[in-house]
Amino acid sequence: MSDHWKVLVWMVAGVLVGLVMQWTLPAPAWAGAEFAAHPGGVQVRAVTGGGPAARAGMAVGDVYRAVALGRGGSEEEVVTFASLENAAQTPASVLERSSNGEVIWFLPALVAGESEPEGELRFKGGKALALSMNPDCARATWLAPFKFAADIFLALLKMLIVPLVLSSIVAGVAGVGTMKDLKRLGGKTFAYYLATSLLAILVGQFLVNTIRPGDGAALGLSALTEAGMGTDDSFVEVIKRAIPTNIFSALQSNGAMLSIIFFALLLGYFITQTAEPHGSRIRELFESFFEVMMKMAEGVLKLLPYGVFALLVKVTAATGFAPFKALLLYMFTVALALLIHSALTLPMLLKFVGKMHPGLWFKAMSPAIMTAFSTSSSSMTLPVTMRTVEQRGRVSNKVTSFTLPLGATINMDGTALYECIGVIFLSQYYASISEFTLTFGDQAFIVLLALLASVGAAGIPSAGLVMMLTILSALGLPIEGAALLLAVDRPLDMLRTCVNVWSDSCGAAIISRTEGETGPLEPITSG
């Protein structure tokens, strides 16, 4: 069975097992605290150890005056405890309106001298409680091994982030710098890859901010307990912080990814400026290290079907189908952005810069694109891509042997677009249930990181997901959101790999034309 079908089978199995557990094993929507009447609203009388209330920081004696249900969605409801009219309307009965996995907000009672804010109740400073199963119920006992397996898989993914990014960027930059006789060709190639990746990211950014799939999405993830990426730093301050004062300290934290990327770019460049034999020794060391990390990443990603299974059992058992409804809109946004970039942006570059017929070039490149779709790997598709571009596209070996291997390493238009949309989607979700705002500076930071992370993305299946963890870690957001996106990653991975390979082939054709070659199909003639 191929990896694609294996992931699909285990994904479906995880959903089915989770639904069976939700339907057959008891788990009340709200479990974790008991309340008593209080002049300011309600007071916490007891907290179950290890329950959702305890995990959120609720303590005996806390007083709350209101609660918000369905926050961030179209059916948001704010209930003031003082308005409960009879014994049948208790805090417990109000909370029972929520569903498993939903995030609810408690508004603390006013302190002496504090006045009620005008207009809507403001929940800034309130405590967000992610409702889940009772830790003592049967479902939690059955879910424990699945949660353990999912946590282990996430830890393995996090383990790859720093060494994979560092080694890939250093090896890539140092390797390109050794091609002294191809400086002009290298300049054109880098300019094309940078431009198309940036255009892809901007397309994705525009669509995700227009469609806004994350607003009010019922993903069942906990609200942020800290500011997360909602800092007050401007984009300029973020760039300043990218320069590490101690690279060894930065290497110990996934949250310092921008510093690591900055250092890797400098190290790769200055390796090329170092006299022999020292420069080549360090370059070969990082190239070997990168190959080892690629093998390790492939090994970890072989666990992807089982990680998806464990994760979906955990999520579906707690929340049912609610997260998948939100993920459908997210998938549509990614697919639409990929379609626009591949069917509009790149063909326009072929026509107006390369003076070629986009339809004819796509037809010629169809074997490479179909291989990319079936393998989800730019690296595995590379031999087919090179043969197709040379034989069917009639591009010289000089151009293909330089542009295509480099493109399979650093030109990831589809991956960059996907990472931008995925991070902003999760940011929109957290903004709808937590108290922080996704500012323009934050989005500019995401665009920059998506561009840099796409350079460091390995050409192997689902590598884009590993790089998304890089961006989330740099922003201070939980990686659990990206783990949930694993459920729909495989079809999107196949599509974005097609876009990656299509962009590489377009780049080879355009650069070939700018080098004066007339082989790539027939040029478009005016008139």
Integer Cα distance of 112 and 201 in angstroms: 50
Closest CA to 472 of 445, 432, 440, 435: 445
State the maximum Cα–Cα separation within the chain, in Å, rounded to a whole number. Answer: 85
| Spatial separation of the C-alpha atoms in residues 361 and 371, rounded to whole Å | 16
- Please give the single-letter amino acid code of residue 288: S
Over residues 270-313, the pLDDT tens digits come to 888 888 898 889 989 988 998 888 788 778 878 878 887 887 78
Band (86; pLDDT cuts 50, 70, 90): low
Give alpha helix (H) positions in 320-377.
322-340, 346-352, 358-375
Is residue 204 predicted with pLDDT exceeding 90?
Answer: yes
For residue 403, give both structure tokens.
Answer: 């542009």
Joined together, the tokens standing for residue 318 give 């707690």
Q: Which amino acid would we find at residue 462?
A: S
Check residue 511 and give its pLDDT. 92
Structure tokens at 190: 């880098």
Quick check: 188 and 511 in contact, CB under 8 A? yes
Return phi, psi of residue 98, to 5°.
Answer: -80, 170
Residue 417 has pLDDT above 80, yes or no: yes
Q: What pLDDT score was predicted for residue 232?
A: 45
Predicted confidence (pLDDT) per residue in 225-259, tens digit: 444 444 445 556 666 767 888 888 888 776 666 78
Q: Tell me how long the chain is.
A: 527
Q: With contact defined as beta carbons under 8 Å apart, do 203 and 340 qualify?
A: yes
Burial class (CB in 10 A: 0-12, 13-18, 19+), 338: buried
Mean pLDDT to the nearest integer, 123-137: 46
Minimum mean pLDDT among 7-16, 95-104, 130-139: which range?
Answer: 130-139
Percent with pLDDT over 70 in the chain: 70
Most confident of 49-63, 171-185, 445-459, 503-517: 503-517
Q: Which residue has the tokens 């070969």?
A: 284
In the chain, % of residues over pLDDT 90 = 13
Residue 26 has pLDDT above 70, yes or no: no
User: Are residues 303 and 153 in contact, defined by beta-carbon separation less than 8 angstroms?
Assistant: yes
* Helices 304-319 and 3-24, axial angle in degrees (round to 10): 30
Token representation of residue 497: 């790999």
What is the mean predicted confidence (pLDDT) over 61-80?
Answer: 73
pLDDT of residue 230: 45
3-class secondary structure, 222: coil
| pLDDT surpasses 90 at 16 | no
Structure tokens, 270: 């200055």
* Per-residue model confidence (pLDDT) at position 461: 55
**Average model confidence (pLDDT) for the chain?**
76
Are 481 and 472 in contact by the 8 Å Cβ rule? The answer is yes
| Superfamily of segment(s) 145-218+234-514 | Sodium:dicarboxylate symporter (1.10.3860.10)
Strand pairing report for 41-47 and 33-38: antiparallel
Q: How far is CA 170 from the centre of its chain?
A: 23
120 has pLDDT over 50: no
pLDDT at 98: 66
Would you call 73 exposed, middle or buried from its count of C-beta atoms within 10 A (0-12, 13-18, 19+)? middle
pLDDT band at 31; cut points 50, 70, 90: low
Tell me the pTM: 0.68
Handedness of CA 505, 508, 514, 516 (dihedral sign): negative
Tokens of 37: 């009447």
Alpha carbon distance 490, 494 (integer Å): 6
CB 446 within 8 A of CB 420: yes
Contact 450, 202 (CB under 8 A): no
For the cut 70, the answer to whether the pLDDT of residue 99 exceeds it is no
What tens digit of pLDDT does each residue of 359-386 get?
Answer: 999 999 998 998 888 777 777 788 888 8
pLDDT of residue 460: 55
Angstrom distance (rounded) from CA 459 to CA 404: 12
Write out pLDDT tens, residues 442-497: 788 788 877 776 665 555 556 666 677 777 777 777 777 777 787 677 778 889 88
Q: For residue 24, what pLDDT is reported?
A: 75
Q: Is the pLDDT of residue 118 over 50?
A: no
Mean pLDDT of the 141-146 span: 80
Q: To which H or E segment does residue 127 belong?
A: strand 127-130
Domain residue extents for the chain: 33-133, 145-218+234-514
Identify which has the larger pLDDT, 153 or 118: 153
**Distance from C-alpha of 422 to C-alpha of 449, rounded to nearest angstrom:** 13
**With bands split at pLDDT 50, 70 and 90, how would you rate the model's confidence at 200?**
very high
At residue 123, does pLDDT exceed 70? no
- Between CA 395 and CA 516 the distance in angstroms is 11
Exposed (0-12), middle (13-18) or buried (19+): which is 61, by Cβ within 10 Å?
exposed
* pLDDT single digits (tens) 385-414: 888 998 889 988 888 877 887 787 678 898
| Cβ-based neighbour number of residue 356 at 10 Å | 24
Report for 80-94, 215-229, 247-261, 323-337: range of highest mean pLDDT = 323-337
DSSP run (H or E) holding 69: strand 63-69
Give the pLDDT confidence score for residue 527 in this predicted structure.
42
- Predicted confidence at residue 295, as pLDDT, reads 84
CA distance 271 to 268: 5
